[in-house]
Amino acid sequence: QQQVKQSPQSLIVQKGGISIINCAYENTAFDYFPWYQQFPGKGPALLIAIRPDVSEKKEGRFTISFNKSAKQFSLHIMDSQPGDSATYFCAASNQGAQKLVFGQGTRLTINP
């Protein structure tokens, strides 16, 4: 019940396209859903996060869509750029930024 399932494992998108990564969770006590971006040789960095009282949150080109009834949330990257090429992790917690449960990650490649 603590799992967060992430898909796809890898994704290739053309420059300017929309990248979409999906996550599903089981624990209904989760109330904090962040997305992290990780470049090779670096630690994960917080990209954007959402709480379940809203269905969408947008920051620049990055949008989280949240479906509480389906227990799913997704990351949309608009106008994807080669600099967005990285591994993306969704995560969830029922204690804010404590004891995060991470998905397995999606390796995103943006082709120029």
Q: How is residue 51 written in tokens?
A: 């709480």
The binder of other proteins chosen from 34, 66, 73, 110 (CB under 8 A):
34
Q: How is residue 67 written in tokens?
A: 């479906």
Pick the stretch among 33-41, 54-62, 63-71, 78-86 that binds other proteins (CB under 8 A): 33-41
83: contact with other proteins by CB under 8 A: no
96: contact with other proteins by CB under 8 A: yes
Whole-angstrom distance, CA of residue 102 vs CA of residue 112: 29
Using left for φ > 0, alpha for ψ between -120 and 50, and beta otherwise, residue 41 falls in left
Contacts of 78 (CB under 8 A, 6+ apart): 18, 61, 62, 63
Pick the stretch among 13-21, 61-69, 73-81, 93-101 that binds other proteins (CB under 8 A): 93-101
Residues that bind other proteins (CB under 8 A): 4, 6, 32, 34, 36, 41-46, 49, 89, 91, 95-105
